[in-house]
């Protein structure tokens, strides 16, 4: 509402032709969303992570041979930005987003995870960058849904293979395919171990404005239109 309209409403109140409540309501509707509260900051951070994840999908799409792997995947776990200092030593990492393939060319809305304590089992000094873990089967998906702390490793009965080190025709051999935009992230490791990924209740609550479980979000019990670009980008990247 511009100043002219605001002045007109206040004149109507003064003249007895409109109630003060109308002015208050109009003023409040014109205010931007609150980003000063904790929930507001969390919501803004979640939206930022989603847009960063779109960039990861676009980068993955440029990688030759990965489209059929995505098309057959059960899901994907995207870590848009991972700090160099965190790799291999469990330091501050970033947010991760889990999306499931719904089987009809569509993808679920994202579920947010905290990768702050993740350990990739790599040598110190590895580079940071974009990460994505393509979940090839239900066993890999269940690792995210059945436990509070997610582990993608042999102890969980999962094989995580390095996309940059494998023959692309054997991508289905692992339960999870680990992709990065920098070969330095995974180095020369043929297999990768991931542990310490945790469901972020705060980010999910702030993004969807409700208290939800990962299963609720993946089942479509809620949605956020801001995620449409991400889900559409994944659908495009996974199109055979």
Q: Tell me: do 63 and 171 sit in the same domain.
A: yes
As a whole number, the mean pLDDT across the chain is 78
The residue-averaged pLDDT of 11-29 equals 41
The answer to whether 119 and 198 are in contact (CB under 8 A) is no
pTM over 0.85: no
Residue 100 pLDDT greater than 70, yes or no: yes
Residue 210 pLDDT greater than 60, yes or no: yes
Range of the domain at 10: 1-31
Q: Tell me: do 160 and 133 sit in the same domain.
A: yes
Greater confidence (8 vs 39) lies with 39
Q: Tell me: do 8 and 122 sit in the same domain.
A: no
Distance (Å, whole) CA 207 – CA 193: 29
The answer to whether 235 and 227 are in contact (CB under 8 A) is no
Sign of CA dihedral 171, 173, 177, 178: negative
Greater confidence (154 vs 221) lies with 221
What tens digit of pLDDT does each residue of 155-193 get? Answer: 889 998 888 766 554 555 689 998 988 766 776 677 788
Q: Tell me: do 119 and 20 sit in the same domain.
A: no
Q: Tell me: do 101 and 14 sit in the same domain.
A: no
What tens digit of pLDDT does each residue of 111-127 get? Answer: 999 886 666 655 444 55
Q: Tell me: do 98 and 189 sit in the same domain.
A: yes
Closest by Cα among 131, 112, 134 to 59: 131
Q: Tell me: do 24 and 80 sit in the same domain.
A: no
What tens digit of pLDDT does each residue of 132-145 get? Answer: 999 999 999 999 99
């Amino acid at each position: 509402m511009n100043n002219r309209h605001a002045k007109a409403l206040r004149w109507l109140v003064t003249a007895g032709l409109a109630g003060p409540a109308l002015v208050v309501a109009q003023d409040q509707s014109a205010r931007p969303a609150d980003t000063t509260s904790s929930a507001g900051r969390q919501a803004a951070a979640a939206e930022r992570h989603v847009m960063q994840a779109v960039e990861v999908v676009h980068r993955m799409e440029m990688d030759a041979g990965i489209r059929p792997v995505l098309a057959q995947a059960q899901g994907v776990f995207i870590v848009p930005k991972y700090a160099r200092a965190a790799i291999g030593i469990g330091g501050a990492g970033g947010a991760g987003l889990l999306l499931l393939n719904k089987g009809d060319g569509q993808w679920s809305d994202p579920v947010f995870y905290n990768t702050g304590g993740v350990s990739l089992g790599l040598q110190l000094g590895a580079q940071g960058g974009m990460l994505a873990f393509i979940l090839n089967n239900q066993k890999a998906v269940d690792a995210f849904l059945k436990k509070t702390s997610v582990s993608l490793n042999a102890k969980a009965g999962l094989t995580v293979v390095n996309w940059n080190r494998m023959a692309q025709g054997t991508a289905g051999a692992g339960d999870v395919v680990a992709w990065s935009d920098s070969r330095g992230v995974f180095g020369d490791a043929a297999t990768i171990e991931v542990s310490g990924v945790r469901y972020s209740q705060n980010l999910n609550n702030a993004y969807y404005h409700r208290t939800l479980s990962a299963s609720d979000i993946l089942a479509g019990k809620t949605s956020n239109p801001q995620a449409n670009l991400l889900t559409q980008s994944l659908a495009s990247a996974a199109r055979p």
